[in-house]
Structure 1
Amino acid sequence: MKQFLGHVGHQTLLFFGRVYDATELAIDSMYWMIVAPLRGKGLRWKTSVEQMVIIGVNSIPLISMLSAIVGMILALQGAYVLRPFGAVIYVADLVGVTMTRELAPLVTAVIVTGRSGSAFAAEIGTMKVSEEVDALVTIGLNPIKFLVVPKLLAIIIMQPCLTMISNVVSMAGGMFVGLTLLDLGAVKYINETMTALVLQDIVTGLIKSLVFAVIIALVGCHEGFQVEGGAEGVGVHTTASVVKSIVFIIIADLLVTMFFFFFL
């Protein structure tokens, strides 16, 4: 019994310790990204632009392909339900609204988590193991400003852009199905999509993408700073960064959806 209680107590303290570390990382990151530049301490824009290319530009082919496929699947599933009612044209509404409000931000976030969130954890974890992080502190550089802020800034800028690309490509995929399999005209499909969409649908998806971006960056970097024990530790925490990011993204998705549902 004592051993069990000791284990529970140890895990509880470990959990709250990690929550504290994650909170401290988030606060420090926001300070170096927002407050410090106002005091003349600047941002590492060159590194941020390099990260934008890695996170954003290099992700466009994969996100475009998967978004088009998701749009086509959604159109086919919608047609299966709507065809008996003679309402196939509303497939355009289904694809447009569902992708902009929900699936485009989610699909983009999952892809970026797998590509970039894991890379954040692996990069910082490798530096932690090889004592490069300690070397940064020794020469007077803040690891948060040097390592985390460029990644956080880059993903905050690129995630909404990738989400908009996903919106457009997924609706194009849905329209392809509408034209080729459902005998819908292009003009009719586009007009129906424009009628169904309102600005709030797009804004909701973009707000979600910003929330997801912060989660991906902070979780990936936090897991990287937690690495111990050599290459094995890097692998463990890289995997943990992907799993935790996806879990937190889905939870955040629910919370943001509930907020817009009840208050807007």
Structure 2
Amino acid sequence: MKKHTLSRLSLKSIRISEEIRHSYNGLFIDLGELVVFTINVIKQLFRPPFEYMELIKQGFILGNKSFGLVSVTGFIMGLVLTMQMNPVLADFGAQSLLPSAISVAMVRELGPVITGLICAGRMSSGIGAEIAAMRVTEQIDAMEVSGTNPLGFVVTTRVMAAMITVPVLVIFADAFSLIGAFLAVNIFEDTSSTLFLDRSFSMLGFRDLMPATIKTVFFGFFIGLIGCYKGYNAGIGTESVGKAANSAVVSASLTIFVIDLVFVLITNLL
């Protein structure tokens, strides 16, 4: 009886180890394919013909879908953050630093990261599902047969549109967060808009703006790239559309955190 139980336990442990090994192998294979896909997309960025009209169309679609959610989120973040920080600063008699603290926190970290996560949920999932549907319905195969380069027309335009759209959305999120912060500050004391803006931008400098702007470009690039990669390599069947959208959101969100960590480390070293 004991021998039988031990043999069953050993078989379970072997199966678990094999599943772990296969998952790790699949992860490394997926990373390798993503690197190759990224290289091909970067090459395609510099190869004519350039699909300007498709780029403008995709930029408008991506920005229009995310603008409302990004604006409302930024406004609420500024409002809530101000109301949370005001009692803390009031204990130290430093309420005058509240606008500058909010602006630095939103511009340097909260604005880019939260907007990037929202765009990962909206853009990356939408791109992944759309391209996966094109793959399932054989539209991409039809493009290749007809002589159209799907990597340039479908993938590159969406990646570039995300690169352009995400930084613009971050700017709007920061602006609406300051509007929310201004309203929250006026709950506690009467402050003019001129004084609030002067205090908000008094502590912002080149060191705050440049890293935040550059990393949003990387956010947009990988949000578009991962969505395109998951959709472009989707399997056969309609269920692969949902899988591509879900995996695109998870992968893009994790990538945003990794990029943010790298930029924070680089900024601190500089």
Q: What is the TM-score when the length of structure 1 is the normalising length?
A: 0.92
Query: How far did residue 187 of structure 1 move?
Result: 2.9
Query: How far did residue 4 of structure 1 move?
Result: 4.3
Q: Which amino acid counterpart does residue 17 of structure 1 have in structure 2?
A: I
Which has the larger Rg? 2
In 1, the alpha carbon distance for the partners of 2:140 and 2:18 equals: 33
Describe the SS at the equivalent of 2:235.
Answer: coil
Listed one character per residue, the Cα deviations across residues 118-165 of structure 1 (whole Å, up to 9, x for unaligned) are: 111001111111222222222222221121101011111121111111
Q: Which residue of 2 aligns with 1:262?
A: 269
Higher mean displacement: 8-17 or 70-79:
8-17
Aligned residues of 2:136 and 2:237 also touching (Cα < 8 A): yes
Query: How far did residue 2 of structure 1 move?
Result: 5.1
In 1, the alpha carbon distance for the partners of 2:124 and 2:153 equals: 17
Work out the number of aligned pairs and report it: 258
Of residues 7, 10, 14, the one that matches 2:22 is: 10
**Pairs within 5 Å for 1:236-255:** 236-255=243-262
In 2, the alpha carbon distance for the partners of 1:173 and 1:181 equals: 13
Listed one character per residue, the Cα deviations across residues 218-257 of structure 1 (whole Å, up to 9, x for unaligned) are: 1111111232141212112211111111111011111111
CA spacing shift, 1:194–1:7, aligned 2, 3 Å: closer
Note if 1:150 corresponds to 2:162. no
In 2, the alpha carbon distance for the partners of 1:181 and 1:129 equals: 57
Of residues 42, 60, 68, the one that matches 1:30 is: 42
Listed one character per residue, the Cα deviations across residues 186-239 of structure 1 (whole Å, up to 9, x for unaligned) are: 333222112111122122211121111111011111111232141212112211
In 2, the alpha carbon distance for the partners of 1:189 and 1:181 equals: 13
Q: Which residue of 2 aligns with 1:93?
A: 100
Query: How far did residue 10 of structure 1 move?
Result: 2.7
Higher mean displacement: 14-23 or 55-64:
55-64
Q: Which residue of 1 aligns with 2:217?
A: 210
In 2, the alpha carbon distance for the partners of 1:203 and 1:173 equals: 24
Describe the SS at the equivalent of 1:56.
Answer: helix
What is the Cα-based RMSD across aligned positions, in Å?
1.6
Of residues 58, 67, 72, the one that matches 1:65 is: 72
Q: Which residue of 2 aligns with 1:191?
A: 198
Listed one character per residue, the Cα deviations across residues 56-108 of structure 1 (whole Å, up to 9, x for unaligned) are: 13422221111011011111111021011111111111111011111111122
In 1, the alpha carbon distance for the partners of 2:54 and 2:267 equals: 35
Query: How far did residue 182 of structure 1 move?
Result: 3.6
**Pairs within 5 Å for 1:55-134:** 55-134=62-141
Q: Which amino acid counterpart does residue 79 of structure 2 have in structure 1?
A: M
Of residues 168, 173, 177, the one that matches 1:166 is: 173
Q: Which amino acid counterpart does residue 99 of structure 2 have in structure 1?
A: A
Unaligned 5+ runs, structure 2:
1-12
Q: What is the TM-score when the length of structure 2 is the normalising length?
A: 0.90
Listed one character per residue, the Cα deviations across residues 2-23 of structure 1 (whole Å, up to 9, x for unaligned) are: 5445434432332222111111
In 1, the alpha carbon distance for the partners of 2:79 and 2:20 equals: 48
Aligned residues of 1:223 and 1:240 also touching (Cα < 8 A): yes
Aligned residues of 2:167 and 2:216 also touching (Cα < 8 A): yes
Aligned residues of 1:89 and 1:184 also touching (Cα < 8 A): no
CA spacing shift, 1:69–1:5, aligned 2, 3 Å: closer
Listed one character per residue, the Cα deviations across residues 21-69 of structure 1 (whole Å, up to 9, x for unaligned) are: 11111111111113x1xxxx22111111001111113422221111011
Aligned residues of 1:224 and 1:234 also touching (Cα < 8 A): yes
Note if 1:224 corresponds to 2:231. yes
In 2, the alpha carbon distance for the partners of 1:255 and 1:93 equals: 25
Unaligned 5+ runs, structure 1:
none
Describe the SS at the equivalent of 2:202.
Answer: helix
